[in-house]
């Protein structure tokens, strides 16, 4: 029986720069209030090292301080937004984080960064997802697994990444043995946060996320959980010893991580005893909040992108090279969760505006307006979207960006458009990899800040994919997915739901406006994509065999045709005015 009183769920989304909170009416899916609090440490919440551009860490104290502030804010706003709202009506809490973002912790589960002797040590902080200092260790893990345990790689796309759990821990062992030895174990941020607010911080009690373990730590029940002790010992004997202090069981996000403690309830302004869902990564719960289901491909577009789809776990599914994982239950219980993505999208646009153009000479809005007036191929430019490496399908963080076709007449808006197109070509490459291995994609649902705020990007993606681009109704899909997890762990008796699919039916949807491909634009982009794939394969693979002599000339031919078309359109418009 569903509770007859109003029930609300709280979703917390711990992102790269800030934490977002969302209060949702469980029955209707109406978002009652939202709040955002930026992390106070470092540069936009990220601890950097000017001597090492690959390093990106976070202060775990920021998570806790910001969580208290954001929850109090969102509850206060909910009281103003909904007459009769009370924090007593919050029936469940869910939360998501970035990942892989592991923390070294002591035997009590507290981050080493909370200890005075490690407070200023970057290696004792949370190793943010975008930290790529462990690229050499990732290559080493990949090589050893390919020789001795190819099954480990088969479920994570064939290549282990520097963004992931064991790469970062092994790198810490080599660059800072003191931190490694002081750490009793390592935990994902997605596991740490539910544990601390439920009083289950002890590593032996902490509920571990299937999502985090499967996608980033090679966890799979087919080989008994995490990689074998002897395999990790071959990388480093101390890493093998650490295996015994990690975990053997994982949980999906429809399971309870614990119940809100009295002390945390007091700090947050909530009632104690509220069930808290097992954590997951932002993109995976964001896909839930966007309505992911078989045939529905969800793109979470922000500083980077994550692409998520699901496949019934009772149907055969091939191992797909280049993915960030195929994990049973990582998104929806009963389905394999498939993850892909790009290491930079919004970050590329921000780099161009902030570092190259400069905010005084151009803004995103101005460049978008000018770029929208250009025809596909009119600039003669082609970009590779690897400014922060390639996450999928090449899984190579040592790849870098490229812009081809500049002349002395190239304008900033032309480059801006080429960068947008480059990210779309990279995204299309991912979609084609899914389709190549039999994963049907009938619908694309986009979410995140760029999908919400930049119609040009969505239109170009539609034109390049040849598919309609839908946009999730919620502007906070990650927090909404977390709120759904909170509603599910609360259960039907408390006013929630027993399954994610039930919560999705009631709580999520898409906006009425969508972006449909323009046939003429799509035809030109098909020609440009063929050139993109040549660049992609030539610079990104060992197997490509050919030459690129024709490529610049082909770009010029496309440019000349499109310029001629633009002149005819302009002349026609002038004639009509006369």
Query: 577 pLDDT exceeds 70?
Result: no
Q: What band does 576 get if pLDDT is binned at 50, 70 and 90?
A: low
Residue 305 CA to residue 111 CA, distance in Å, equals 28
Please give the mean pLDDT across all residues of the chain: 94
Helix (H, G, I), strand (E, B) or coil at 322: coil
Identify whether residues 310 and 278 lie together within a single domain: no
Whether 384 and 483 map to the same domain: the answer is no
For the cut 60, the answer to whether the pLDDT of residue 3 exceeds it is: no
Domain boundary among 485, 507, 529: 507
Cα maximum dimension of the chain: 82
- Are residues 300 and 153 part of one domain? no
Residues 449 and 545 in one domain: yes
The answer to the question of residue 562 being in a domain is yes
Q: Per-residue pLDDT tens for 290-303?
A: 999 999 999 999 88
Distances (CA, A) of 61 to 15, 39, 178, 184, 418: 14, 9, 21, 19, 40
Residue 481 resides in a domain: yes
The 3-state DSSP class for residue 285 equals helix
Average pLDDT over residues 153-171: 92
Asked if residue 135 and residue 28 are part of one domain, the reply reads yes
Do 219 and 158 lie in one domain? The reply is yes
Instruction: Note down the domain range covering 249.
Output: 8-283+476-507
* Strand partners of residue 327: 337
Task: Measure the CA–CA gap between 152 and 159, rounded to whole angstroms.
Answer: 9
Can you tell me the distance from the alpha carbon of 185 to that of 207, in angstroms, rounded to the nearest whole number? 14
The band of 2, judged by pLDDT with boundaries at 50, 70 and 90, is: very low
What are the tens digits of pLDDT across the range 515-531? 999 999 999 999 999 99
Name the domain boundary from 507, 528, 555: 507
One domain for residues 324 and 178: no
Check residue 158 and give its pLDDT: 87
pLDDT in tens, 319-338: 899 888 899 999 999 999 99
Q: Is residue 289 part of a domain?
A: no
- Same domain? 467 vs 481: no
Q: Quick one: pLDDT band at residue 414, thresholds 50, 70, 90?
A: very high
Q: In the structure encoding, which two tokens stand for residue 333, read together?
A: 């219980």
CATH of the domain at 261: 3.30.420.40
Judge if 444 and 492 occupy the same domain: no
* Residue 291 in domain: no
Name 148's Cβ contacts closer than 8 Å, sequence gap at least 6. Answer: 231, 234
Same domain, 20 and 137: yes
* Whether residue 496 sits in one domain with residue 369: no
Question: Total domain count for the chain?
Answer: 2
What pLDDT band is residue 156 in, cutting at 50, 70 and 90? confident
Distance CA(127)–CA(186), nearest Å, equals 11
Pair (520, 439) in one structural domain: yes
């Amino acid at each position: 029986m569903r509770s007859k009183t109003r029930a609300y769920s709280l979703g917390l989304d711990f992102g790269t720069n800030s934490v977002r909170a969302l209060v949702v009416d469980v029955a209707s899916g109406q978002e009652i209030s939202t709040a955002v609090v930026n992390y106070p440490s470092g540069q936009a919440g990220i601890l950097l090292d000017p001597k090492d551009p690959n390093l990106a860490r976070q202060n775990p104290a920021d998570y806790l301080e910001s969580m208290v502030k954001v929850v109090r804010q969102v509850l206060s706003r909910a009281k103003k937004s909904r007459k009769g709202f009370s924090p007593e009506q919050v029936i469940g809490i869910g939360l998501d984080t970035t990942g892989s973002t592991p923390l070294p912790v002591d035997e009590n589960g507290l981050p080493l960064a909370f200890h005075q002797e490690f407070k200023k040590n970057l290696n004792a902080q949370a190793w943010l997802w975008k930290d790529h200092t462990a690229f050499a260790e990732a290559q080493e893990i990949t090589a050893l697994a390919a020789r001795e345990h190819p099954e480990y790689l088969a479920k994570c796309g064939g290549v282990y990444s520097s963004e992931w759990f064991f790469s970062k821990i092994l790198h810490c062992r080599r660059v800072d043995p003191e931190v490694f030895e002081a750490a009793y174990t390592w935990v994902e941020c997605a596991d740490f946060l539910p544990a601390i607010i439920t009083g289950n911080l002890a590593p032996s009690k902490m509920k571990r996320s299937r999502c985090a373990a499967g996608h980033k730590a090679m966890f799979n029940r087919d080989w008994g959980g995490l990689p074998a002790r002897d395999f990790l010992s071959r990388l480093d004997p101390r890493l093998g010893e650490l295996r015994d202090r990690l975990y053997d069981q994982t949980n999906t996000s429809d399971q309870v991580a614990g119940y809100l403690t009295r002390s945390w309830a007091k700090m947050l302004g909530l009632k104690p005893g509220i069930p808290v869902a097992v954590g997951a990564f932002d993109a995976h719960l964001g896909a839930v909040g966007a309505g992911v289901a078989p045939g529905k491909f969800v793109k979470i577009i922000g500083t980077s992108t994550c692409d998520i789809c699901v496949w019934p776990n009772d149907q055969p599914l091939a191992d797909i090279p280049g993915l960030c994982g195929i994990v049973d239950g990582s998104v929806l219980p009963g389905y394999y969760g498939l993850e892909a993505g790009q290491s930079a999208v919004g970050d590329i646009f921000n780099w161009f505006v902030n570092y190259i153009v400069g905010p005084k000479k151009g803004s995103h809005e101005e460049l978008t307006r000018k770029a929208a007036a250009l025809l596909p191929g009119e600039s003669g430019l082609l970009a590779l979207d690897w400014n922060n490496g390639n996450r999928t399908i090449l899984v190579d963080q040592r790849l870098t960006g490229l812009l081809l076709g500049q002349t002395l007449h190239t304008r900033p808006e032309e480059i801006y458009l080429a960068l947008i197109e480059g990210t779309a070509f990279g995204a299309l490459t991912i979609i084609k990899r899914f389709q190549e291995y039999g994963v049907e994609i009938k619908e694309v649902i986009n979410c995140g800040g760029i999908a919400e705020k930049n119609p040009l990007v969505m239109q170009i993606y539609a034109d390049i994919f040849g598919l309609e681009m839908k946009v999730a109704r919620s502007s906070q899909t990650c927090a909404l997915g977390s709120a759904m997890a909170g509603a599910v762990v609360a259960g039907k008796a408390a006013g929630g739901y027993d399954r994610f699919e039930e919560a999705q039916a009631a709580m999520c949807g898409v906006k009425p406006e969508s972006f449909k491909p323009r046939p003429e634009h799509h035809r030109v982009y098909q020609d440009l994509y063929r050139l993109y794939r040549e660049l992609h394969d030539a610079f990104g693979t060992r197997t490509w065999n050919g030459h690129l002599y024709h490529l610049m000339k082909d770009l010029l031919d496309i440019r000349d045709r499109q310029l001629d078309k633009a002149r005819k359109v302009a002349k026609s418009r002038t004639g009509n005015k006369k």
